[in-house]
Amino acid sequence: MLKDQILNAHDIKTEAVEVPEWGTTVFVRTFSGADRAKLMELHKQHADNPAELNTHLVLMAASDEKGNPIFTGDDYDRLNGKSGVAIDRVAIAALKLNGLDSESVDDAKNCS
């Protein structure tokens, strides 16, 4: 019973992010466990270049209102050519929503 409750829970949340450079609102979504594992691997690969990691964050987190991804990995180069300010804005919102921004990480460390 509890197992079914957990596995059937709709626990992916979205949050709107205004992106004036793109003339639209983008939604960011919370990461699944698989997304988080992929992000950790990408962090290792791009530790020396955070700007590349931010583009990957946007690829993974940008969604429509229902949490459906907007981009695929094939969109990396084109997205990476867009405004760095816009990419950073969306990436920072994704980190915050997922509890991965520095403030959230510090709070989690203080709770242990």
60-75 pLDDT, tens digit each: 999 998 889 999 999 9
In angstroms, what CA-CA distances link 98 with 1, 31, 47, 72?
27, 7, 19, 20
Q: Assess contact for 39 and 106: CB atoms under 8 A.
A: no
Question: Is pLDDT of 107 > 50?
Answer: no
Confidence of residue 112 (pLDDT cuts 50, 70, 90): low
Region of poorest pLDDT, from 43-52, 62-71, 96-105: 96-105
Closest CA relative to residue 29, chosen from 101, 94, 92: 94
Element (DSSP H or E) covering residue 22: none
Round to the nearest angstrom and report the end-to-end CA distance of the chain.
30
